[in-house]
């Protein structure tokens, strides 16, 4: 019996996304192991040491410090903030890493995305981008159904990304993705996933698009009379405000963990009195949209429409084909297929595991583990991911400049 060598991982940025794949490590200890982390925050380093049973010499305050030791693992995961992906990724390649799992978006700058792709090709580095939805059991099954030809040729796709009012308030009004200068435009930060899924499902390249959107609600001029700078203060509308921080963090555990536990607070009240997550949603320094629509023209005249909105929940996809149609709801794990010829309707329920993004995080690391063992090239190489980023950048330009944008324009910039 031949024993497979255990693959090793180093993590740059061991916060929320840096820990997204822990369920895979826990269930596959003989396959893959985290052996080093780099993070500037002491409490995160302490937690990582405990979680991964790390040696002190493999815990670093910066990626520069870690990279000085050369490639101390088979691969590095880069899970820093959106605007901090380029430098650690470039330096990982310079340090000798040949396998990199890079959180999306690749970079807020398309020029930097292209530089990383070019450098990876020159150095023979396999960069996989965390477009985790491509790995999800749900979208994998949906793609299989489309490829079976049961609804004929795909002609139209209507896709909604319902961010949800709580998630919007937590991440994109109060949180780390609230300001495009500090992270990236929301259509890139949140919906490069969705642009990638449209490419995946249609199997076509995008040619041109138009987009509209704005921050409709979360602005100072919309603050209700009697509201205060923080929810913990004597806010007169706290009982009727759905965005009250106590309501949100008492309802959603993962948001509580991010706003309280992972910020090293022992209780909700103290955290809400001191950190960014306790601020009134109408009085933050946010400038990203709360709703945006994008109209896409693909090859062969195929069209698609994306609605991203804070005011609906979950991803819902409607696909029109020449021989049938599909209604698919990601949160329900349900795909309903109707055949125009027979009139028959078939409903598929897709089983998933409990990891993030409907099992996608687990499946992403499962595939990356195969990449490290030479069993796969991966599904989301950086060269593939460039187009979804180009589409997202084009959408933001279209929104701001109120004009159609050809995708080739982004590549020429």
For 18: left if phi > 0, alpha if psi spans -120 to 50, otherwise beta; the answer is alpha
pTM for the structure as a whole: 0.92
What are residue 160's phi and psi, to 5 degrees?
A: -115, 130
- Domain segments of the chain as ranges: 7-129, 134-218+289-355+383-412, 220-278
**Domain 134-218+289-355+383-412 in the same topology as domain 7-129:** no
> Measured between alpha carbons, how far is 196 from 387 in angstroms, rounded to an integer?
8
CA 141 from centre of chain: 20
Q: Provide the residue count of the chain.
A: 413
Q: What is the 3-state secondary structure (H, E, C) of 192-248?
A: HHHHHHHHHHHCCCEEEEEEEEECCCCCHHHCCCCCCCECCCCCCCCCCCCCCHHHH
> Measured between alpha carbons, how far is 114 from 306 in angstroms, rounded to an integer?
25
Question: 154-163 and 303-309: which strand pairing?
Answer: parallel
Contact 170, 248 (CB under 8 A): yes
CATH number for 7-129 (one of 3.40.120.10, 3.90.79.10, 3.40.50.720, 1.10.8.100): it is 3.40.50.720
At 193 the pLDDT is 92
Q: ω before 341 within 30° of 0 (cis)?
A: no
The CA–CA distances, whole Å, from 346 to 151, 336, 337 equal 12, 6, 5
Q: Collapsing DSSP states into helix, strand and coil, what is residue 410?
A: helix
At 1 the pLDDT is 40
Residue bearing tokens 């099954």: 141
Closest CA to 83 of 191, 176, 195: 176
Helices 86-95/110-123 angle, 10° precision: 10
Tens of each residue's pLDDT in the chain, 413 residues: 445 689 999 999 987 777 778 888 889 888 999 999 999 999 889 989 999 999 999 999 999 999 999 999 999 999 998 889 999 999 999 999 999 999 999 999 999 999 999 999 999 999 999 998 999 999 999 999 999 999 999 999 999 999 999 999 999 999 999 999 888 999 999 999 999 999 999 999 999 999 999 999 999 999 999 999 999 999 999 999 999 999 999 999 999 998 998 777 889 999 999 999 999 999 999 999 999 999 999 999 999 999 999 999 999 999 999 999 999 999 999 999 999 999 999 999 998 765 566 678 889 999 999 999 999 999 999 999 999 999 999 999 999 999 999 999 999 87
Closest CA to 249 of 229, 219, 274, 269: 269
Contact 345, 336 (CB under 8 A): yes
DSSP-derived secondary structure for 294-310: EEEEEGGG-EEEEEEET
Q: Collapsing DSSP states into helix, strand and coil, what is residue 355?
A: coil
Indicate the CATH number for domain 134-218+289-355+383-412.
3.30.360.10
Closest CA to 174 of 264, 100, 284, 275: 284
């Amino acid at each position: 019996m031949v024993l497979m060598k255990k693959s090793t991982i180093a993590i740059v940025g061991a916060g929320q996304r840096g820990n997204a794949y822990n369920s895979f490590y826990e269930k596959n200890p003989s396959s893959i192991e985290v052996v080093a982390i780099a993070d500037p925050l002491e409490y995160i380093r302490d937690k990582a040491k405990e979680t991964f049973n790390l040696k002190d010499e493999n815990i670093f305050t910066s990626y520069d410090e870690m990279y000085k030791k050369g490639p101390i693992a088979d691969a590095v995961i880069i899970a820093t903030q959106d605007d901090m992906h380029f430098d650690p990724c470039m330096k990982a390649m310079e340090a000798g890493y040949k396998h990199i799992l890079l959180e999306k978006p690749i970079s807020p700058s398309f020029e930097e995305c292209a530089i990383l792709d070019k450098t990876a090709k020159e150095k023979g580095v396999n960069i996989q981008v965390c477009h985790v939805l491509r790995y999800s059991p749900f979208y994998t099954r949906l793609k299989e159904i489309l490829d079976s030809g049961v609804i004929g040729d795909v002609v139209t796709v209507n896709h909604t990304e319902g961010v949800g009012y709580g998630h919007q308030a937590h991440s994109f009004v109060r949180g780390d993705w609230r300001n495009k200068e500090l992270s990236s435009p929301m259509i890139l930060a949140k919906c490069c996933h969705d642009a990638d899924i449209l490419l995946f499902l249609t199997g076509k390249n995008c040619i041109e698009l138009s987009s509209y959107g704005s921050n409709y609600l979360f602005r100072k001029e919309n603050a209700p009379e009697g509201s205060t700078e923080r929810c913990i203060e004597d806010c007169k509308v706290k009982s009727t405000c759905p965005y009250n921080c106590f309501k949100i963090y008492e309802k959603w555990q993962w948001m509580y963990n991010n706003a309280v536990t992972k910020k090293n607070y022992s209780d909700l009240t103290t955290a809400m009195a001191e950190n960014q997550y306790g601020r009134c949603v109408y009085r933050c320094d946010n400038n990203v949209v709360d709703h945006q629509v994008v109209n896409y023209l693909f090859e062969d005249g195929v069209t698609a429409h994306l609605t991203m909105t804070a005011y609906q929940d979950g991803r819902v996809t409607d696909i029109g084909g020449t021989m049938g149609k599909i209604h698919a709801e990601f949160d329900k794990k349900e795909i309903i297929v109707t055949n125009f010829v027979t009139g028959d309707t078939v409903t598929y329920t897709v089983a998933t595991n409990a990891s993030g993004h409907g099992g996608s995080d687990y499946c992403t690391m499962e595939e990356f583990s195969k990449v490290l063992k030479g069993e796969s090239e991966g599904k989301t190489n950086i060269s593939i991911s460039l187009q979804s980023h180009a589409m997202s950048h084009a959408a933001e330009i279209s929104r701001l400049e109120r004009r159609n944008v050809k995708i080739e324009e982004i590549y020429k910039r």
